[in-house]
């Protein structure tokens, strides 16, 4: 397999770290992103040691800040002349109380929707230089359980709940990545594919904020024995990132057992466009 330059966001632990470890073992050049400097450095050292691959580096950025994502992308563009695979893995659940970022966006939507949208656009110049580039975005089966979206209130200023925010954020990012396919076609760019994956219910730090209350801690404790390991959850990301079977395949959704069909209950081209336009308006100052 040709050596690929692969960026994995949210790679300091859980599914992201396992993805980095597996792809490093394949011999690729790996860029690991994390939020916490010490934790990210520790994950980097573990991946480097266990893979025996020295072509690994780590970069730190808080993806709850769109401005910091811009600085992060600029750093990548200074260091590398191409990018073959972008794995948008970073994401989070938050609490039962609606919270906003310093840039005044609802936190779940900011990190799960606006962040991967912004980063993908910012890194398109590097992806276009690859002979065959892939964008892999980690969604969730929870997108099927969020209920009907209110597209006039994407950031849930009304009727917020943790489950609704998380599920809808994963629905919206599936739509955004699907929309990238048509945007690339219109631009005449044929070397980049866009697929989404889900890791099933796997152990990770995804709920580091949402499990702070006693109730959610109890629920998580009871559910944990039924969850996949982080390594098992990473298999769909690994497959979508480098499998020869997916060469040239775009606009698909994969789980641990292969291709699946995301819920289209509330999908329409018009709804997809509304979400795309809303997110574009949010990220425009950082492009």
Name the active-site residue from 58, 166, 172, 278. Answer: 166
| DSSP annotation string for the chain | ----EEEESS-SSHHHHHHHHHHHHTT-EEEEEESSHHHHHHHHHHHHHHHT---EEEEE--TT-HHHHHHHHHHHHHH-S--SEEEE-------SS--B-TTS-BHHHIIIIIHHHHHHHHTHHHHTTSSSEEEEEE--GGGGSS-S--TT-TT-SSS--HHHHHHHHHHHHHHHHHHHHHHHHHHT--SEEEEEE---SB-SSTTTTTT-SHHHHHHHHHHGGGSBPHHHHTHHHHHHHH-GGGTT--S-EEETTEEE----TT--HHHHHHHHHHHHHHHGGG-
Is 166 one of the catalytic residues? yes
Question: Which of the residues are catalytic?
Answer: 166
């Amino acid at each position: 397999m040709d050596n690929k330059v692969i960026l994995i966001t949210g790679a300091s632990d859980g599914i992201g770290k396992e993805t980095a470890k597996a792809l490093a073992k394949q011999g690729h050049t790996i860029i690991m992103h994390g939020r916490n400097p010490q934790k990210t450095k520790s994950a980097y050292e573990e991946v480097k040691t266990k893979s025996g691959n020295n072509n690994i580096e780590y970069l730190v950025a808080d993806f709850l800040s769109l401005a910091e994502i811009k600085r992060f992308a600029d750093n990548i563009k200074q260091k590398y002349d191409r990018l073959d695979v972008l794995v948008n893995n970073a994401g989070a659940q938050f609490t039962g109380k609606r919270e906003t970022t310093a840039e005044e966006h609802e936190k779940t939507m900011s990190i799960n929707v606006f962040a991967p949208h912004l980063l993908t656009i910012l890194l398109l110049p590097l992806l276009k230089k690859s002979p065959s580039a892939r964008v892999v975005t980690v969604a969730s089966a929870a997108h099927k359980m969020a209920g009907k979206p209110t597209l006039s209130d994407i950031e849930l200023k009304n009727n917020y709940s943790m489950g609704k925010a998380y599920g809808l954020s994963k629905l919206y990012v599936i739509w955004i990545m699907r929309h990238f396919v048509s945007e690339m076609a219109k631009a005449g760019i044929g070397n980049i594919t866009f697929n989404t994956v889900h890791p099933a219910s796997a152990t990770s730090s995804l709920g580091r904020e949402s499990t702070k209350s006693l109730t959610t801690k109890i629920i998580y404790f009871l559910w944990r024995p039924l969850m996949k390991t982080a390594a098992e959850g990473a298999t769909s990301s690994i497959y979508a990132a480098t499998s020869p079977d997916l060469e040239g395949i775009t606009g698909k959704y994969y789980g641990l057992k292969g291709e699946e069909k995301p819920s289209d209950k509330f999908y329409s081209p018009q709804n997809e466009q509304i979400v795309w336009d809303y997110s574009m308006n949010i990220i425009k100052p950082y492009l």
